[in-house]
Chains A and B, each alone.
Chain A
Amino acid sequence: MAFAPMGPEASFFAVVDQHKASLLATLSRGGGEPAGGGTRLASSSEVLASIESVIQDIITSVARNEAPAFTIDNRSSWENIKFEDSVGLQMVSHCTTRKIKSDSPKSVKNFALILKILSMIYKLVQSNTYATKRDIYYTDSQLFGNQTVVDNIINDISCMLKVPRMSLHILSTSKGLIAGNLRYMEEDGTRVHCTCGSTAVAVPSNIQGIQNLITDAKFLLIVEKDATFQRLLDDNFCNRMSPCIMVTGKGVPDLNTRLLVKKLWDTFHIPVFALVDADPHGIEIMCIYKYGSKAMSFEAHNLTVPAIRWLGLLPSDIKRLNIPRDTLIPLTKRDQMKLDSVLKRPYITCQPFWRKEMEIMADSKMKAEIQALTFLSSDYLSRVYLPNKLKFGGWI
């Protein structure tokens, strides 16, 4: 590739290539690829018909002098979620539901807001236009109260209608960034080059609209935090480790970042590594990329990348690298609770090495941020730690 900067020798990525080969081998055996199902992209007419059906039910209830109610799957209950190694967390087929009643003082507002957003979605789909969740919030910010209310209702509607959010013509403003060896064309024809030195590109809002993705990357590195991501850009990590792609969701990833990671994996089947803090929250963020979240389990097939590997920062690295103890941070009570919670998640059972690392963290009662490596050397992360991990296969 003309835009590809010079990276390490080809032998440097030998282990990465081997890993890629093994992933592809697994895929070819059908073990790692989702079996399909879940939410599918629905056509506009299907979405309109679904909404009309919902409205029809409400009017029928009213005509019968019965208080109408929405029945929505319980997304936040672990009872309704099953774990599949190849998919991650996904909803069970016969899950428990909750009713949002129109005759309950507590839920009547929610009932009304669902109808309000349904009517907006109806208009968006009819007119084939898109709006962000933020746009919807600002249509009547006083009524909605805050953005989270809108986000939750949209997820509820998506779950109720069994169509992905994208099919509802609702977008979200992306917060994620991408950099490295990648080119693509957006839905509107805009060509995007992500290989621009120290400048990253925002993850597009319409991931489904991305076309002509081109890359020679040997791997995709997911960076938990924007600060680390910027530091790696500053250290010219993408060029040094070229060809590679770096993505950050700036903490807990939004849907677009997850969709992009999923799309890159589905398109290129390159190894995906995660660089997160050696703390419970870092591990949970990595799990969201890998196995999905509880709230969006109904759309897991479009969002999870089970091939992701934990590259760093491993709790065992702290001892191995003799990172000074004073640079470590004691686990708080909240950290401890989170760690216990993660350890109880269903996917941890099939990740014995992850469990071991978490137990090390629990035993030491210390956590470490990626920035802890800077106490060894300011560019230790980009020059030593990551290259060595990639070269020698230091992921789990």
Chain B
Amino acid sequence: MELATKEARRSPLGSRGKPPTSSRAGAGRDRSTWIRAGRSAEETRRLEQPALSDTLGAQPTRSLNAFVSPNSCKTLLSAPERPAFPTPRPSPPVPGWLAHDSPSCPRDPAGARARRRILPPGLPRPRPRPRPRPRPRPRPQPRCPHAAAQSAPPRRRDKAGPGAGTYLGAERRPGRRECGGRRRTARRPAHPSAHGPSRLPAPPHRSWRAPAVRGLREVRREVRRRGGPMGGAGARGREERRATGRGRRRRSTSGRAAGSGRRCCWCCRCSSCCRCCCLRVMECTAVAVCEILKYLIIHWKCETGTSKGALLEGQLVISMEALNSKHQANTLHCVTTIASAGSIYGGLVLKKFLKEIQSVLPGFSAKLNWTSEEASCSQDISGVTPFQMIFEVDEKPRTLMTDSLVIKNFLHKIVMVHPKIKFNFTVKVNGVLSMEVFGTKNEPTLNLSNGIALVISCQHYVRRPRFGTAELLCGRIRPVLGPPVVLCIPGDMAGPGFSGSLTLTPAAALCPCPKVFSNQLNRISSVSIFLYGPSGLPLILPSQEPPTTTVFKDTSYFIDWKKYHLCMVPNLGLSLDRDLVLPDVSYQVESSEGDQSQNMDFQGQTLLLFLFVDFHSGFPVQQTELWRVHTLLTTHLSAILTESHSVVQDSVQVAVDQALEQHHQATKDHQKLQVSLSVAVNSIMSIVTGSTSSSFRKICLRALQAADTQEFGTKLHKSFHEITRHRLLPYCSCEMKQQLLPEKNAEQSTEDAHENSSLELLAGTSEQVENKRLKRGCLRQGMEETRAFHSARTRSPSEAAACRTKPTGASLTPGGSRGSPGDSLEDSLWQQEVSNLSEWLSPGPEP
């Protein structure tokens, strides 16, 4: 459990017991604030009442399950009274030419939607209007997408203002232009577009009714009910066909992906505006989200300057909102939004983005939406430019579930090397909301030279093992870096204009820390390999089986396991639905049946192997270059590693050797301990049984309450084992050092953690010396940590979060300053939140 680390457990009250305000939305906006965005005050109160009750423990969450891991924040909102409607997606300001179109959109009470955000006190908060029913379709949907497209009015991109969402991509592909044209005739309402800019774009949210609190299990049940694994495939297929043929007259023009069996092309949802989303994704949502995130992070990295080696710091929001398709049974219409502050994505060129993203997502098209600098100055006092990208997909419920798990694992993998990036990942299925926050900001890290830092908290890699009542105190891994090696790129892969070199740096570590097992049986049970490309981005997506990992199918290709008397076999049974970072490649030790039966409850140790591939050239690396390198690695990593097999093997072996050296030492210690205890007990037994003094023998037997010498021997052995087991609990210098540091703010602590980790890895000897000196403090601290852990577990996540006293949220203000000009606004919003709080606490209608 990552209670102590996950920012998801943070209190909604935020810093100093004060909830984050809207001007800090990007940094400190917690889940509840996040959800409130886009609602009227009254609606917000009604919606949030159960959530707050849950937070305060008055109404416990029923269950935790499904999309999100149990170690993160989960508050589920649902709308039991009536089916939930699509949530509003924040949109850019409506250009003049579109303004008169929007009210005509039957689903869009534009004015209401435009104001559905947190507004400063004093501003009117109109109630949302009831959602009008869609008009009956006058004629069946034409099956030919081109025919349908021809009937669409021409696009008017040229009229989009600077702040308008740009609509590109589809028209770049011949044959799709028509589809794009048809979107303008779609009867979907226009998105709210008259929002004032905020620091963080509000997530898509269009519920008119207050959803009830639901457990994640219910979310999963909801998904399954909507055609998940339990649904009949035949029925779903019929429904789908029916929907494709008749149900979605205006939106099915693009047909479906060949052989995919599901819709992959979407038309514009609004009638005639190019600001609304359009999308062509030939892959699933997860691939699209992951690739977009990769692109954005690369862009971000290049913008901030890679030469400095500074860690990226900021917050991204990924929101997936799925609603039952009106036109297709057992299908969810999923609107995915990727949002962040514009300051992060300053300089992002949409055309370039679409062009490059289409190299990995053919046919991809999305709407980008951000507020211009001018608009920011006039409307947003914070000066932060929000960024937002929206695309839509029709998916089967089960696919959606898989997608969300894939995205979740992808995000988790990114934060393992980008500890200062925080992801808010929200999935809302028919009004049932679940949210997970991914962030490792205050966790100890190992700084790597290329601007990434590996999180070394054990909890991300293995489940925290327990031995009886003793909780393990050492929660860190100790990665050993292998020497960086230059990878040879086969000539036919590099392509023209490829200048630069790829280097691979392996890092190996045992998890849990070998010291943890000093008095326990040591054995390596599995190997997890994590592949990271330049900028610390995952090279392959979870659950993907691309040719990237072909080279790892041979377990002994890079590591000589025989040397360690280990026999590895590929582990293909890893589940996506887990709280741990999902390895790209996993092996498990093939053990005899006898071993397995003896150690059924013993987790064993996992050898973690991180392979960091980085790109270097003589000049500052350009974004395009990095993107190309990523594409190259994604497709040809196996071939590249094979080409440099010898040097990679040597480097990996060095790292693994050093990591396993600790393991061997721990094994030795364990064996020594066992032998010593056995010798001691046998010697005592020899004296007691050989003694001719009856009084001596009686005293000994009485002391251990043994009837005879045989029982005495058994009890003596057991007692010795118990005593030494508890006494030989290890200590961890890293945690101990951190604990002994004076209390600092979160950033300082992080810096210390970085420094400590680096120093520790550089100077193992000094660490040992330090260990001796600080042993007591560590043990005490470890116990305190354990207690805190237990107490946190007994509390609800929100309660645990409420116990925190220090803010950890990152600021999205340009300078990272917390004292922004919007403080007064924040204060007023805070006052409003407090006033709402009293209403929430009062008994309300049953959900």
Contact = CB atoms under 8 A, between A and B. Distances in A.
Interface of A: 48-49, 51-52, 55-56, 58-60, 62-63, 65-67, 102-105, 108-109, 111-113, 115-116, 118-119, 122-123, 126, 143
B617 interface: no
A377 to B, nearest CB: 57
Interface centre among B683, B705, B723, by most chain A C-beta atoms within 10 angstroms, is B683
Contact of A123 (B673, B690, B716, B720): B690
Interface string B655-692: 00000000000000100110111111011101110111
B700 interface: yes
A65 B723 contact: yes
B518 interface: yes
B703 interface: yes
B676 A112 contact: yes
A103 B728 contact: yes
Interface in B711-768: 716, 719-720, 722-724, 727-728
Nearest to A126: B690
Contacts of A62: 703-704, 716, 719-720, 723
Contact of B684 (A55, A66, A123, A126): A55
Contacts of A51: 687
B123 interface: no
Interface in B344-397: none
B688 A55 contact: yes
Contacts, number: 102
A56 B703 CA distance: 9
Contact of A102 (B518, B672, B675, B720): B720
A59 B723 contact: no
A52 B693 contact: yes
Given A52-B693, A62-B716, A109 B672 contact: yes
Given A108-B676, A119-B686, A122-B690, A56 B719 contact: no
B719 to A, nearest CB: 5
A310 B746 CA distance: 72
A116 B719 CA distance: 18
A109 B676 contact: yes
B696 interface: yes
Nearest to B692: A126
Contacts of A105: 518, 669, 672-673, 728
8 contacts: A52-B691, A63-B705, A105-B673, A108-B677, A111-B680, A116-B680, A122-B686, A122-B690
Contacts of B700: 55-56, 59
Given A59-B700, A63-B704, A63-B719, A108 B724 contact: yes
Nearest to B730: A105
B727 A103 contact: yes
A257 B690 CA distance: 34
Contact of B679 (A52, A56, A67, A116): A116
B801 to A, nearest CB: 38
Contacts of A113: 679
B699 interface: yes
A55 B720 contact: no
B687 A52 contact: yes
A115 B684 contact: yes
Contacts of B672: 105, 108-109
Interface in B492-536: 518
A118 B687 contact: yes
A102 B723 CA distance: 9
Given A62-B720, A123-B686, A143-B675, 18 more contacts: A55-B684, A62-B704, A63-B703, A63-B704, A67-B724, A67-B727, A102-B677, A102-B680, A102-B724, A104-B728, A109-B672, A112-B676, A112-B679, A112-B683, A118-B687, A119-B682, A119-B690, A126-B690
A232 B330 CA distance: 110
Contacts of B719: 62-63, 65
10 pairs of A and B residues whose beta carbons are closest in the complex: A103-B727, A115-B683, A112-B676, A119-B683, A112-B679, A112-B680, A119-B686, A63-B703, A108-B676, A52-B696
A119 B673 contact: no
Contact of A103 (B675, B686, B724): B724
Nearest to A116: B683
Interface of B: 518, 669, 672-673, 675-680, 682-684, 686-688, 690-693, 696, 699-700, 703-705, 716, 719-720, 722-724, 727-728
A376 B348 CA distance: 97
B769 to A, nearest CB: 14
A60 B703 contact: yes
Contact of A119 (B687, B720, B722, B727): B687
A84 B469 CA distance: 56
Nearest to B672: A109
A103 B518 CA distance: 12
Given A102-B680, A112-B676, A112-B679, A56 B699 contact: yes
Contacts of B724: 67, 102-103, 108
B704 to A, nearest CB: 6
A51 B692 CA distance: 13
Contacts of A55: 684, 687-688, 696, 700
Contacts of B669: 105
A65 B722 contact: yes
A56 B704 CA distance: 11
Given A59-B703, A126-B692, A103 B723 contact: yes
Nearest to A115: B683
A326 B692 CA distance: 68
A369 B672 CA distance: 46
A122 B687 contact: yes
Contacts of B723: 62, 65-67, 102-103
Interface centre among A58, A59, A115, A123, by most chain B C-beta atoms within 10 angstroms, is A59
B662 to A, nearest CB: 14
B668 to A, nearest CB: 10
Contacts of A115: 679-680, 683-684
A51 B690 CA distance: 12
Contacts of A119: 682-684, 686-687, 690
A60 B693 CA distance: 17
B737 to A, nearest CB: 21
A343 to B, nearest CB: 33
A286 to B, nearest CB: 40
A144 B687 CA distance: 19
B406 to A, nearest CB: 44
A119 B685 CA distance: 9
Contacts of A123: 686, 690
B715 to A, nearest CB: 9
Nearest to B723: A67
A372 B692 CA distance: 61
Contacts of B691: 48, 52, 122
Nearest to A123: B690
B616 to A, nearest CB: 44
Contact of A56 (B682, B696, B722): B696
Contacts of B716: 59, 62
B725 to A, nearest CB: 9
A112 B677 contact: yes
A67 to B, nearest CB: 5
A62 B672 CA distance: 20
Nearest to B700: A59
Contacts of B720: 62, 102
Interface centre among A49, A52, A60, A122, by most chain B C-beta atoms within 10 angstroms, is A52
A326 B700 CA distance: 69
A389 B766 CA distance: 57
A128 to B, nearest CB: 13
A118 B696 contact: no
Contacts of B687: 51-52, 55, 118-119, 122
Contacts of A109: 672, 675-676
B752 to A, nearest CB: 29
A293 B630 CA distance: 72
B467 to A, nearest CB: 16
A112 B679 CA distance: 6
Contacts of A118: 683, 687
